[in-house]
Amino acid sequence: MLSEIVKLALAEDIGTGDVTSEACVPEDRQARGKFIAKEPLVLAGTEVLQQMYDNLTLHRHNGHELQPGDLIAEVEGKARRLLACERTALNFLQRLSGVATLARAYARAVEGTGCKVLDTRKTTPGLRHLEKAAAAAGGVTNHRIGLWDAILIKNNHIEAAGGVRQALNGAFATGLPVEIEVRTLAELEEALAAGARHLLLDNLTPEQAREWVTRIAGRATIELSGGINLTNIRAYAETGADYVSSGAITHSATARDISFQLIWGR
């Protein structure tokens, strides 16, 4: 899958050819290139470089914290090839390092609470595996990869199934991990009575979440979601919940500044 993603990304940028490099750079010219951090960041995306370059030396690895001027990787080869790959390589590195950097901030915000941070499926279409790998490199826990590997019953599923118990009965029959969202105390008690052992509590305030956690009293694993950000995540983590999730880790990460420096000759 990764090789196909990289191939598509390069084809999108290069198209029928890098006309600038072909017009300006001799075909046999050799060069070296360096990827350098320009601001503090948590590195992610080096697996993409391994797909793009045959002659690659990695000096830092996913999850490493870098400072401005730190050398990430060096590549060698035909100058035209290095120039043609430059923008695509940087786009991947900058985007994925942005996710990893934000994920590290979320993970640190809950340190000492016993609560873990989960990522979500709110990812860039086609880049989910890469963005979830970046989130993990930053220190958060990957949740569902897609709709196929675990069951998460949301309010619309409950409505379509005809109720909490009906939805759970169908889900349990699959043998997959099952989590269910409950919106009211009545749904909460019905879910627990039906055998739910993993609950999603959405859009509660920290104060409300603490009350619900106390009411559940260890009868199920608890995830909190909805409006959770770096400003309030500590308050949610301190409610006693097992997990807090935030889509912002992937959908709102800001790309980090990384440069590519080309050096002529070997």
CA atoms of 126 and 2, how far apart (whole Å): 10
Core vs surface per residue 60-85: b (16+ CB within 10 A) or e: bebbbebeeebebbbbbbbbbbbbbb
Spatial contact of 141 and 151, defined as CB atoms under 8 Å apart: no
Catalytic residue (one of 65, 76, 189, 202): 202
38 is catalytic: no
Catalytic residue (one of 34, 81, 87, 116): 87
Spatial contact of 119 and 132, defined as CB atoms under 8 Å apart: yes
SS3 for 227?
Answer: coil
Q: How many CA atoms lie within 13 A of 214 on its CB side?
A: 8
Catalytic residue (one of 34, 116, 122, 165): 122
Q: Is the dihedral of CA 78, 81, 83, 88 positive or negative?
A: negative
Catalytic residue (one of 47, 86, 131, 181): 181
Cα dist from 94 to 43, 83, 134, 178, 182, whole Å: 9, 17, 11, 35, 38
CA atoms of 220 and 196, how far apart (whole Å): 7
122 is catalytic: yes
154 is catalytic: yes
Catalytic residue (one of 154, 165, 183, 210): 154
What does the CA dihedral 67, 68, 74, 79 come to, rounded to 10 degrees?
A: 160
Strand arrangement, sheet containing 116-118: 116-118, 243-245, 221-225, 198-202, 178-182, 151-153
Nearest to 210, CA basis, from 188, 186, 238: 238
CA atoms of 134 and 251, how far apart (whole Å): 13
Active site residues: 87, 122, 154, 181, 202
